[in-house]
Amino acid sequence: MRILVFGRTGQVAGELQRRCPDGWRMIALGRDEADLIQPERCARAVLDHEADAVINAAAYTDVDRAEDEEAIANLVNGEAPAAMAAAATMKGIPFLHVSSDYVFDGSGSDAWRPDDATGPLGAYGRSKLLGEQGVRAAGGSYAILRTSWVFSAQGRNFVKTMLRLGETRDSIRVVSDQVGGPTPAADIATALLRIAAALHAGVGQTGTYHFSGAPDVSWADFARLIFERANMKVKVEDIDSAGYPTKARRPANSRLDCHSLKLKHGIDRPDWRSGLDDVLGEIV
């Protein structure tokens, strides 16, 4: 099977390359080959490469900066995926796209279902929602995978930030009123490859799915376990979101209902604690 991936060095893109099954061929395009601020180039890349499925693992992910660069975020997260999906439809191949819990407003305490009404709080969430709408409008075989709190041994993420801060501090204040499912990038990559194979074989169902690690946890409790598993004596002090102001509002409730992914593709929520141990082992 031949997979075309947009993204080369990001967390999910990197794990896709590491987990490419034997006998498969994967082409990962970096920014030099397909810059997502040029959607037409992305579409052309899909048309020019021989592939059985396309996975978009590239994105604009700076949530706060997006408030000042919404036009750029919309190009990268919105218009580029729409162009890729349209080109994949022209070629008759499935298109897989990684989205975010930020398409919801984070209200309540129930886990968000794929068909729940969206309501992004900021520019980043609006750009991700724009991308979802473009992928669906393309009319082809697709899978949108909404996920949350991604971490790995590569790139920038909460786990690496906590480890870095823990090297010079004996206590740290962390938000405790935002709850979600930390998700190892390795598990996201594995899920994407499995869905791609199913869609290519004609046995997988097109749609929007949720995929996040279990169990759900607050950022503060996530930090505690990071320090515990890393054998770092760092005290975590709970604070509310008001005590850690950011330019962009974050969803308080990032819980995702992943039942439909289990039902239609047989993919369970991963235990992020096991993934955390793997990541810490790799970093060490």
Structure tokens given for 52: 């059985």
Structure tokens given for 18: 């590491």
Q: 151-174 as b/e, with b when 16 or more CB fall inside 10 Å? A: bbbbbebbbbebbeebeeeeebeb
Catalytic residue status for 124? yes
Query: Cα dist. 44→14, 144, 253 in Å?
Result: 23, 21, 38
Q: How far apart are CA 103 and CA 115, in angstroms?
A: 12
Q: How far apart are CA 100 and CA 188, in angstroms?
A: 12
Catalytic residue among 60, 102, 124, 142: 124
Query: Residue 76: which of 122, 26, 134 has the closest Cα?
Result: 134
Q: How far apart are CA 265 and CA 208, in angstroms?
A: 12
Q: How far apart are CA 108 and CA 26, in angstroms?
A: 41
Q: What angle do CA 162, 124, 112 make, to 5 degrees?
A: 80
Residue whose structure tokens are 């969206």: 118
Query: Residue 240: which of 218, 255, 263, 266 has the closest Cα?
Result: 218
Q: Which residues are catalytic?
A: 124
